[in-house]
Chain A
Amino acid sequence: MAAASYSTYLARRVILTVVSVFIIISFNFLLFRVLPGNPITLLYRSPRLTFNQEKALSIEFGLNRPEWVQYILYVKNALEGNFGISYYYKVSVTSKIIPALENSLILLIPATIISILLGIYTGVFSAWRENTKADVAVLQTAMAFYAMPTFWLGGIFILIAIYIGGIPVAGEYSVGSTSIINLMEHMALPLLTLVLVYYGQFTIMMRNSLRDVLSEDYILTAYAKGADSKRILYSHAVPNAMLPMISLIAINLGLMVTGAILVETVFSWPGIGYLIYQSIGHLDYPMLQGAFIIVTFSVVLANLLADIIYGLVDPRIRYR
């Protein structure tokens, strides 16, 4: 496989991503129109939107123009990161989403990394002992956590935390504090909840992937040659088993955002999931749209990134 094929693969992935981005924006545009009431009444109906803002919004989104012009304006604004003005907060949607996104990432990145590591570790553990009691125990535990409703697990932790006392169960910082310790204290329970509900799927993925690799010919050959089994596992099998994990992880990013919404709601974490939850209560359509676009963009871009990495590390890449 020469470099040319990788660049073809890359070009294809990039084009597909761009297409996805346009589907997202167009979809949002449509959703905005399908919602009850026409967009102008939606905008004007909000009692909290002042008259000047309404006028500005109406011009900005060209709501008095033909539909296709509106669409082009919408795409242009969306690509510039301008999602309009929040009905509820009366400030630009972007200015609310960016800090919320940062808060979400503070929680999500460690949660993802820890759960992937934990998942890989337990997955290897399980695959290496295939069909033993240890394997079944690890697999069952992983499945149980995978099946656990995120919000319920969070609720159980809140019950326990209140019973013990002194453990923060809401928010990101204590009021006025910005210390990292304070952040970590507030993060402990949401992080634990996320890690536990995420790691199970990685365990199962890793176990299956490694099991497949372990039954491949070259591994069997290595055994036949009498190589140390530990060495085979860590220097041949595990790295190869990690490859399919990359794309599986990328596909599951959307699921993680789902988990984040529930966890942020239960623990009042001021992230984008909590923002979405609150915006539903306020029926703040511009905010919902903006948040939706940002979240979807992030997932699509993460997928592209995973594809690029996957293409780089796996020389046997095949493309559709």
Chain B
Amino acid sequence: MSSKRRTSNKVLVVVFSAVIIATGFIAVWNNYSLSVNPGSYGQSPASGVVSSNNSTFIVGWSGTSIDTLNPYTYTASVSDWILMDTYSTLALYNANGSALIPELATSWNINVSNGTAIVHLNPNAKFSNGQPINSSDVAYSYEMADCCFSGLSSYVCMITNISTPNPQTVIFNFTGGLFPLISLDNVFILPESVWENVNVSSYFGYNASANPSFVGSGPFIVSKYVQGQYIELSKNPYWYLPNMEPHVSHVIIQCFNSESSMFSALQSGAIDATGAFLLPSQIPVVQKDSSLSLVVSDSFTYCYLAFNVNPSGGGASSIRNLTVRQAIVDAINDTYVTKVAWDGYATPLATNFPVGDSFLDSSLPLHQYNVSKANSLLNASGFKYGSNGIRVTPNGTPLSYTIIVPSSFPALISAGTVIKQELAQIGISITISSITTSTMDSIIWPGYNQTMDLWDWSWTPGDPTLLCVFTGTAITTELSDSGFNNTEYNNLYSELVNANTTQQVYNISDQLQTILYDQLPYMPLYSPPNIAAYSNAFTNISSNFAGGPFGAMDWQTFLQVEPNASFGKTTHSSSTIYYIAGGVAAVLIVAAVVAVVMRSRRKED
């Protein structure tokens, strides 16, 4: 027995020494690698002078990750955000959408009545490879934007002709009143010399093996891209607008699979800010942390309950009865749903635009919550209660509906749960089915087989073409999940597209919203809040844009952000390794003690 004990003690000694040596070695190595590698994140400038040479701003992103960097085929909003700062557009909207700021264009002269726009370009403008940006590049970019594969075509379809009398002038001919509203700020100007050599419809927009990998026209260029993990933007050496010079040298957008993991990364200092978006539960944690700042902003998103009103669609046919929809809307207390789903941080909505959008018709009141009115509506139309407390249609089909809702939207599931309880009061039985958005796609668009769905729309602020979602054509283009097709609405929408003045566009937009308010293909529920937080190691965070500084709508964020010279930056020491070593040591000690105790016990036996 004694020999056995001695050997095992020897083993323990050897293991302990090995652990200690390894820990020491790792610690030394760790310090060494930190000291020779000052380029790692979050290093504040040595002097008080805020220099842009050596600072990296890291934003976390937990929304849909980057799908492509091709300006014509992207759908993810984070891609849009990246493209905004890596390509020029002719002009940019300011924070509240009230005025256009020149970017590539220095001035423009738009005459809506005869459909002509003359745009003068900045003569100093260059691409990131040093080549000048000419009017031919602008014409090329606008022409490609109108191609069948392009997601930008709704911004340029009213353009009838583009001419380039000289390298600094572009003349657009167009019809209708939308051009000045949406055409100047939405088309990214690409280098024709690069894009004419690739298959535009399938090009990713960044090619690591090409030299250069990326040619852009914005203040930043894409310098590195690791699929599904992060994208690094660096200052464009040929950027031509000194008044829009970025204050940081690099911007990194890191993708996370959940708000929780993104928030943990912010807390541990691995990222400097969070985009798309934090949750109400995290607000108190941010408020308690003196090194973090909180931003709660208006959103460019709205959530809704959609009814399948497509006459040839599947699902429960009673939902196509306006009375039933009216009763449902009357029985849902939108204010309460909104409060419960987002802990009071969201804004209830009456109409189909995100809160704060200039096209939102504020004269429409929230639908009145009135359960008795809902019940009398149903009673009057012959929807009697069945034996199980669920109403039935006059021909005997029970009013039991399934609402499909994206499983990745927890707050919408909460909203659905509340709606389910509220509709039970009027004898309508609801099943909530949470499925992936792709499965929702495959239920809705091949044949409109849903009855109701809860979902959201995110939209560029100040763009009335969101209303095209309710036109008949949107059924075939898979935008419409209600299948709404109303002749009056369709005609009015084409009037909006062809309106002659901006005021007319606003008036028609209000009329369209009134039709939706009365016909109820959707019940708009709320605009969720956009909650973000950032580290006080950075300052001068842009504000006032819908979606907040990190909501993928604000092109100013990365231009304005700068390291906070007065902030005593805590270096994120890599302490994990010590915790590991400590943990291993603790486990070994416990094991050794247990082993020794057990041995002595055994010996006594």
Residues of A within 8 A of B (CB): 36-37, 41, 45, 47-48, 50-53, 88-91, 96, 125, 129, 132, 134, 158, 161-162, 164-172, 174-177, 179, 181-182, 184-185, 188, 192, 228-230, 265, 267-268, 270, 274, 277-278, 280-283
Contacts and interface: CB of A to CB of B under 8 A. Distances in A.
Contact of B4 (A158, A230, A267): A230
A268 B30 contact: no
B33 A181 contact: yes
11 contacts: A41-B446, A132-B602, A167-B575, A167-B579, A170-B264, A176-B40, A176-B56, A265-B257, A268-B256, A277-B257, A283-B442
Given A50-B201, A162-B264, A168-B265, A274 B257 contact: yes
Interface string B440-459: 01100110000000000000
Given A37-B442, A268-B261, A281 B202 contact: no
A95 to B, nearest CB: 9
Nearest to A99: B227
Nearest to A186: B576
Given A36-B442, A283-B438, A162 B267 contact: yes
A58 to B, nearest CB: 15
Given A90-B204, A229-B4, 5 more contacts: A52-B202, A53-B202, A169-B264, A177-B40, A265-B257
B14 interface: no
Contacts of A50: 73, 149, 201-202
B229 interface: yes
Contacts of B441: 45, 283
Contacts of B271: 175
Interface in B225-280: 227-230, 232, 252, 254, 256-258, 260-262, 264-265, 267-271
B474 to A, nearest CB: 14
A184 B577 contact: yes
B567 interface: no
B229 A174 contact: no
A160 to B, nearest CB: 10
B67 A166 contact: no
Contact of A166 (B7, B33, B254, B573): B573
A142 B567 CA distance: 48
Contact of A96 (B30, B56, B227, B573): B227
B436 A174 contact: no
Interface string B1-40: 0011001000000000000000000100110010001011
A281 B73 contact: no
A167 B576 contact: yes
B208 interface: no
A181 B29 contact: yes
A277 B65 CA distance: 14
A175 B268 contact: no
A282 B438 contact: yes
Nearest to A274: B257
B264 A179 contact: no
Q: Which 4 A-B pairs have the closest CB atoms?
A: A283-B438, A170-B261, A185-B576, A230-B4
Q: Chain B contact residues (Cβ within 8 angstroms of A): what range?
A: 35 or more
A292 B244 CA distance: 49
Interface in B538-581: 572-577, 579-580
A230 B201 CA distance: 72
Contacts of B321: none
Candidate in B26, B230, B442, B602 with the most chain A CB atoms within 10 angstroms: B442
Residue from A53, A192, A281 whose CB has the most chain B CB atoms within 10 Å: A281
B264 A281 contact: no
A44 to B, nearest CB: 11
A179 B439 contact: no
Contact of A168 (B33, B270, B573, B598): B270
A176 B442 contact: no
Interface of B: 3-4, 7, 26, 29-30, 33, 37, 39-41, 56, 58, 67-68, 73, 75, 149, 199, 201-202, 204, 224, 227-230, 232, 252, 254, 256-258, 260-262, 264-265, 267-271, 408, 436-439, 441-442, 445-446, 478, 572-577, 579-580, 583, 594-595, 598, 601-602
Contacts of A53: 202
Contact of A179 (B33, B67, B260, B437): B33
B452 to A, nearest CB: 20
A162 B573 CA distance: 15
Nearest to B573: A166
A174 B264 contact: no
A45 B436 contact: no
Given A51-B149, A179-B33, A281 B408 contact: yes
A270 B230 CA distance: 12
Contacts of B580: 184, 188
A168 B576 contact: yes
Given A50-B201, A268-B261, A166 B227 contact: no
A269 B15 CA distance: 30
A181 B30 CA distance: 7
Contacts of B256: 170-171, 268
Contacts of A185: 574, 576-577
B579 A164 contact: yes
A168 B257 contact: no
A44 B28 CA distance: 56
A179 to B, nearest CB: 5
A50 B258 CA distance: 29
Contacts of B75: 47-48
A45 B41 CA distance: 42
Residue among A37, A50, A174, A280 facing the most chain B CB atoms (10 A cut-off): A174
B229 A281 contact: no
Contact of B199 (A36, A52, A274): A52
Contacts of A182: 574
A281 B436 contact: yes
Contact of B40 (A129, A134, A172, A174): A174
Nearest to A172: B229
Given A90-B68, A184-B577, A158 B264 contact: yes
Contact of B436 (A165, A268, A283): A283
B56 to A, nearest CB: 8
A252 B508 CA distance: 65
A64 to B, nearest CB: 20
A164 B583 CA distance: 13
A134 B229 CA distance: 46
Contacts of A228: 3-4
A249 to B, nearest CB: 23
Contacts of B41: 174-176
Contacts of A165: 267-268
A283 B602 contact: no
Contact of A170 (B58, B265, B442, B572): B265
Nearest to A122: B591
Contacts of B40: 174, 176-177
A229 to B, nearest CB: 8
